[in-house]
Amino acid sequence: MPELPEVETMRRGLLPIVGCVISKVEYPDIPYRPIVIEPSREDLVRRCQGQSIQSVDRIAKRVLIRLGNRDSIVMQPKMAGIAMLSDPPSQQHTRVVFQLRGNKNIPQFLYWDRRGLGTVSLWTPEQVLAKLGPDVLGPDASIVEESVFVARFRESKKEIKVAMLDQSIVAGIGNLYAAEILFAAKVHPQARCGDVSTAKWKRVHAETIRILQEAIEKEGSTLSDGTYRNAINGEGSYQNLHQVYDREGQPCKRCSNVKITRIVQAQRSTFFCPKCQKPS
């Protein structure tokens, strides 16, 4: 968390900065360990100040601010980061502030991170390709074609839930949405990719597209810790539609008489319904 829907919501929220010029880059003095910034704080300031913002894009779970000099500011939220315009949840966790000119209504954008695990990088086009290109990341999970989706997962020998977190197969799905997708498709999370039938793979693909697109429309999921917010510090609402995630011990919303179970796969919690998602 944040996953594809939350990061796409960040991207859309930052679109008003397109056409503005970065006038200043600031690093607030805060009492927490600094986040990773590359190549260095000084280089980022030197290469960003005075540059116009050409576009705001997303690759997998990263936001990219494309600049006039062809560099890209790449913000990776990881566990608890947010790329936003204003009103951060707390001032003491604001990591980088980009002051702007060109639109009096949009004076800045910033990167906020409560846990300090995210990163802010400045990459050339060649670096973006090397680190986020098709040799590293699979196709975007929200738009990938069915035939490509099925073929790429069929090659994996992993359990399906674990494979869905592998960004080299398909990019953008994280722990929360993988659980929700598999529940919707009625597939057991421990099924091996090679043992899943073509019909089930088609269901998984269809539910992947449906759930990710619906979550984007709902501006993502704000969980009980309240960390994730949109670009103007508002909550997402897709959490109200969660069927299994973080619902261990609660009745299944589909079959009602079986409780949601939690297991651990690849050091991550997986939630599922033992009745609705029976092993093959």
Give me the active site residues, please: 2-3, 61, 268
What is the end-to-end Cα distance of the chain in Å, rounded?
Answer: 29
CA distance 92 to 30: 6
Provide the 3-class DSSP secondary structure of residue 208. Answer: helix
Q: Which two tokens mark 54?
A: 């050409």
CA distance 267 to 263: 10
- What Rg, from alpha-carbon coordinates, does the chain have? 20
Residue positions counted in the chain: 280
Supply angle C-alpha 175, 250, 176, rounded to 5: 10
Torsion angle in degrees (nearest 10) through CA of 166, 170, 174, 180: -120
